[in-house]
Amino acid sequence: MHVELSEEEQVFRDETRRWLEDNVPKAPLPPRETPEGLEKHREWEKRLLDAGYGAVSWPTEFGGGGLSHMHQAIFDEEYALAGAPLRLNEFGLSLAGPTILKFGSLEQKSRWVNRIVDCSDLWCQGFSEPGSGSDLASLRTRAVRDGDSYVINGQKIWTTLGHNANWMFALVRTSEGPRPHAGITFVMIPMTESGVTVRQITQLNGDRKFCEVFFDEVRIPIHNRIGDEDSGWAVAMATLGLERGVGTAPPGRFTRKFEYVLSLLRRAPEQTFEQGLDHAAVGRLAAQVVGHRYHLARLLDESTQQSGDGLGPSVNKLLYTELDVALHEAGLAALGQLGTASSGPGLMSDVAALHPDSEWVEWSRGYWYARAAMIFGGSNEIQRNIIAERYLGLPKEWKP
């Protein structure tokens, strides 16, 4: 098998690793959805940008680093392994930008892409609606043409970091017809426009990352459209492919969590084995981590070679979301009752001495987020439909 990185790629990896070692904040930043977290993350993004790591593989004329997808993957992996902060413009970098670069006009690229890289604009994703989750094509937020404008009415929901964003890429209905997919258009909506209302939703883990967004007679120019009118579905599917694909879940993230589980086991092996987290369970997790890593590595190769059967993103989404849940389950089992506690006042001093880091406090929060990931990005059940119908060629479900 070819597994080597080129000499130049190795140099890039080593430089990146060193830079991250020297620069990644030692203490975790406050969450992005809080005002102080937003500020801290902006400062961090500025440092990344100054070091040339804003958007490694995007073209230089739009503010990117002009390097290959392999470099991007190397960067993502090192970034995850270093435990660096979540990217502030996560949806701009992973979804909006690549979609604009692939489907946008030159004017649109010049207008939006640079401003994603330097975080002048923060983006959010407007796909799901209260009545349209897995059945995304049934969406009802309407855009009615009025001269050179669309007038938008409706509601989006589960919009991650919607309250931070000043732009949304969204799917809207531009025509009704027997085939709901054929009446959808991909548009860019300024969140600052009058008639846009954003409300944060408190999640079961206490986070307030997800939002609902209301549109009341919101007017946007037609040149905010990506692709043709009523042709937004194909653009959206490409975007979702990115969401399930290579860039979203670098293996290093799970490597890091797995190693943390190992460290918990080493600290208090007897307690953890009493909890039933035995050697075989650890070996099984290792196999899952390795399996995800090398499946993704194959996928990365296929996506740069334009080969493969196109199934990779769906398989990847199932692999990494279920791995993430399994890792959190193992971590919480290793922590036992402690997994529900925070490191704040009242914690027994012997426990605090055993766990001098505070990483474990994030595990119950992270567990619930991992559960959310099985639902978003096209639920895991939808991925199973895709695999069964498009890859195995099984017949569509019978509709009465």
> Active-site residue among 36, 243, 381, 389?
243
Buried b (16+ CB within 10 A) or exposed e, 236-271: bebbbbbbbbbbbbbbbbbbbbbebbeebbeebeeb
List Cβ neighbours of 368 (8 Å cut-off, separation of 6 or more): 203, 204, 205
**SS3 call for 151:** strand
Using the minimum distance from each CB to other proteins, give the nearer residue, 35 or 266: 266
The residue with tokens 């639902």 is 375
Contact 81, 256 (CB under 8 A): yes
Q: How far is the CB of 292 from other proteins (least distance, A)?
A: 7
Shortest spacing between CB 25 and other proteins, in angstroms:
20
* Least CB distance to other proteins at residue 328 (A): 18
Beta bridge partners of 189: 168
Nearer to other proteins (CB atom), residue 143 or residue 240? 240
Chain position carrying tokens 């007897």: 270
Count the Cβ atoms, other than its own, within 10 Å of residue 116. 27
- Give the single-character DSSP code of 376: S
Give the nearest distance from C-beta 269 to other proteins in angstroms. Answer: 7
Minimum separation from the CB atom of position 388 to other proteins (A): 4
Determine contact, residues 37/29, Cβ cutoff 8 Å.
Answer: yes
Half-sphere exposure of 53 (CA within 13 A, CB side): 23
> Quick check: 151 and 174 in contact, CB under 8 A?
no
For the CB of residue 101, give the shortest distance to other proteins in the complex, in Å.
Answer: 22
Q: Of 160 and 263, which CB lies nearer to other proteins in the complex structure?
A: 263
Residue environment code for 83-104, b if the CB has 16+ CB neighbours within 10 A, otherwise e? bbbebbbbbbbbbbbbbbbebb
**Closest to other proteins by CB, 130 or 308:** 308
Which residue lies nearer to other proteins by CB, 224 or 383? Answer: 383
Tokens representing 393 are: 């060629």
CB distance 355 to 331 below 8 Å: no
Q: Which is nearer to other proteins, 221 or 291 (CB)?
A: 291
What are the CA-CA distances from residue 98 to residues 55, 91, 297 (Å)? 10, 10, 20
Q: Return the exposure string of 28-48: e unless at least 16 CB atoms fall within 10 Å of the residue's CB, then b.
A: ebebbbeeebbebbeebbeeb
Closest separation between CB of residue 11 and other proteins, Å? 15
Nearer to other proteins, 22 or 309 (CB): 309
Q: Is 193 a residue of the active site?
A: no
Where along the sequence are the contacts to other proteins (CB under 8 A)?
1-5, 70, 73-74, 77, 81, 255, 258-259, 262, 265-266, 269, 278-284, 286-295, 297-298, 300-301, 305, 311, 315, 318-319, 381, 383-385, 387-389, 391-398
Residues annotated as catalytic are 243
